[in-house]
Amino acid sequence: MNDDGKVNASSEGYFILVGFSNWPHLEVVLFVVVLIFYLMTLVGNLFIIILSYLDSHLHTPMYFFLSNLSFLDLCYTTSSIPQLLVNLWGPEKTISYAGCVIQLYFVLALGTTECVLLVVMSYDRYAAVCRPLHYTVLMHPRFCYLLAVASWVSGFTNSALHSSFTFWIPLCGHHQVDHFFCEVPALLRLSCVDTHANELTLMITSSVFVLIPLVLILTSYGAIVQAVLRMQSTTGLQRVFGTCGAHLMVVSLFFIPAMCIYLQPPSGNSQDQGKFIALFYTVVTPSLNPLIYTLRNKDVRGAVKRLMGWK
């Protein structure tokens, strides 16, 4: 305890994740809904990873990056959802200080990685549609691995910066984090010092990893739309719109909530609204990604038939 009677959470060794305590009647319903979506995420993303690995027809850059996205979504949801389920089920809503640091680091790292990976996937679609004759050269396997590694490294490096900045400031007063997981804006509200520098850093890096990727993705799809409009083949048109439409839907589901949370100062966010937006992109979006990519995908249906031995 310091001179003015405030307690530093690190000295106490834990935080209380308030989560949805203000709506106790909703907690059981949320537990069931979150559990269903989490199981869908696990099954759907594991299905894509295993299928892409087993079927040689899917050993292409598109499915290599899609497998990366599926693995990313598995890790992303697992970094926060099991803790949320425990908190929704029982009266204990605590998380250790070390657990909070680890959770913040991985949630932020994996979220940033997804921003970059979605750009890489849009570049892959651009190369496939706009530069088909040079596609195998442009998307050489070694280059694909480098792009994937760059996505992961940039995400984990950015997270190291923010996690350090967040936990360097004294987090004083009560230990109650008004969120269902340890997140930068929610933790900054616990500080007893001026956090404008942290908020500015968060907004700058969020702009770099959210706005710039979004602009690059939209630019890629602008070029794709122009190329598609010049196509004479109806089958080609349907195939391109099917694949690219799925990616654009995933981009929308991920980037719109991310912009709502991270591109405004913590003080400007409604906490209750922020929780439900965060619930959407941590629970719903990762479970929908496999469905969006596979539901009308002939390659995946063909791979399933080959794997099951159907003609």
Q: What domains appear along the chain, each with residue ranges and CATH number? A: 14-308 (1.20.1070.10)
Kindly list the distances between the CA atom of residue 228 and the CA atoms of 56, 79, 233, 240, 282, in Å, as whole numbers in the listed order: 28, 39, 9, 8, 33
Token pair listed for 42: 């696990």
193-244 pLDDT, tens digit each: 888 888 888 888 888 888 899 999 999 988 888 887 777 666 666 666 666 7
Question: Residue 136 and residue 74: Cα distance in Å, rounded?
Answer: 29
pLDDT recorded at residue 290: 84
> Residue 304: helix, strand or coil by DSSP?
helix
Low-confidence residues in the chain, pLDDT < 70: 1-12, 173-174, 232-243, 263-271, 295-296, 310-311
pLDDT recorded at residue 5: 40
pLDDT recorded at residue 1: 42
- Listed in order, strand segments (DSSP E) in the chain are 14-17, 94-96, 176-177
Question: Residue 83 and residue 34: Cα distance in Å, rounded?
Answer: 11
18-43 pLDDT, tens digit each: 888 878 888 899 999 999 999 999 99
The pTM of the full predicted model, rounded to 2 decimals, is: 0.85
41-50 pLDDT, tens digit each: 999 999 999 9
